[in-house]
Amino acid sequence: MCPVSFCWSGSLKGGGQKAFISLYCRQSDGRKVLCSSIREFLCSEAMFALGIPTTQAGSLVTSDLYVQSNAFYSGNPRPERCFVVLRIALIRLTAMDRPIARAASLVARRERSAVLLSSVILSEFISSPSSSSLSRSAWYDCNTVTVRTAKLVGLWQSVGFCHGVLNTDNMSILGLTIVYDPFGFMDRSDPEFPDVCRWNLARLAEALGAELQSAKAGAILDEFMTIYQDFYLDNLRRKLGLLRHQEPEDVELVADLLKTMHITGVDFTNTYRLLSAMSCPAGEQKDSTDLVVELIVEQCASLEELKVANNPTMQPSELERILSMAETNPGASSRSNRCAPFCYGFRFERHVSWKRCLLMINETFDISGHHIRRRLARECNEASDPAEVEKQRVKFMNSTNPTAVLRNYIAQNAIEAAERGDFSEVRGLD
């Protein structure tokens, strides 16, 4: 049972036309079809299981109504059964900025600000100050949303979650993940989102402008990137098993790893999971770096995938020279030379062989692997039991780095089964 003071908020998605329905939605009828409904239902539960703040689907209800839908934008719409999703805890940024911005006068803006701020502060931010000052409430509202959103984006990035439509209408004032159509879990590391989220928060600050001084709003927004970067770095430290202390060099270590993951197209989720098998140099553990690197390289994108992902800019003669140097005498070249193709963005010409490409990938991951292993050694001090430290690290990494995420093909298999009337896969994934 919930305490008496606790308030649940929810919304129906797919229940029909609304007051503020997007003109760009399918036929603007407010309906939601099987494919998108199941994706939202499954992903909200997957994100909750990963410990990421999210709305949750309280229920998923089928209907006898069918509408025309073009799920893959192929130009071939087909009839799909309608569904209604009950989402728990959903207040969009537009719930604040749209009504205020549409007010006819400054007086009306202030009146709407007062009503909306009182409603949101009292019902959602339980630990809010007791001050009755509207400007104080506006500051608290904007500051709290900024901190929550910055941390939310850091969590998205740490699991490779990609939000498909990140506008103010698809961001929550509570710092929750909302609206899962479209979405994806990245196969490749590809950082994004922080700048977009900051821009959306700036629109909220503008809406509260009648009560929130511009200097205060600017100071709050200026903190966004710092909060995000610090929180994101802490999350990546934990994903790498760096639990006992922090070092300034961790920033470079994490940046090098993310860059290597991005340019080689290595699988985001599997790489972090495999890194738990990398042994700490302290104690009597056998050096497993080479084995781990070999397993990670197997997760890399193919040469053809890398060619498609990167537009060639390096001259063929220059690329040939660098690859030949690495192939014939890799030990003689400096780290910057060995990684030169990656520093250029790992852009390939069609004649580059997979064998030569694989050599470069192995060398680059070997550098990152030994860098991580040296850092792990400093996790153990003289008073520590290396075996116990290693045991705790591996246990923590395996609990932090998931073995699987809701990849698109997994969701699609469940959707296709549901279209045939079989919801067992949906229930199995839930």
Active-site amino acid positions: 169
Q: What are phi and psi of 236, to 5 degrees?
A: -70, -35
Angle at which helices 106-124 and 134-159 pack, to 10 degrees? 60
- Among 261, 263, 256, 257, CA closest to 344: 263
In whole angstroms, give the CA distance from residue 419 to residue 411. 12
- Amino acid occupying residue 66: Y
In whole angstroms, give the CA distance from residue 391 to residue 412. 37
Within 10 angstroms of residue 12's Cβ, the number of other Cβ atoms is 16
Encode 53-70: b = buried (16+ Cβ within 10 Å), e = exposed.
Answer: bbbbbeebeebeeebebe
CA distances from 46 to 49, 250, 383 (A): 5, 29, 40
Going by their DSSP bridges, the two strands 183-185 and 161-163 should be labelled as: antiparallel
User: Where does residue 102 rank: exposed (0-12), middle (13-18), buried (19+ CB within 10 A)?
Assistant: exposed
Within 10 angstroms of residue 192's Cβ, the number of other Cβ atoms is 14
In terms of phi and psi (left: phi > 0; alpha: psi -120 to 50; beta: otherwise), the region of 153 is alpha
In whole angstroms, give the CA distance from residue 205 to residue 215. 11
In whole angstroms, give the CA distance from residue 64 to residue 86. 17
The encoded tokens of residue 277 equal 């098998």
The encoded tokens of residue 192 equal 């994004």
In whole angstroms, give the CA distance from residue 194 to residue 309. 22
User: Where does residue 190 rank: exposed (0-12), middle (13-18), buried (19+ CB within 10 A)?
Assistant: middle
Contacts of 189 (CB under 8 A, 6+ apart): 160, 258, 261, 262, 266, 268
When computed from its CA atoms, the radius of gyration of the chain, rounded to whole angstroms, is 25
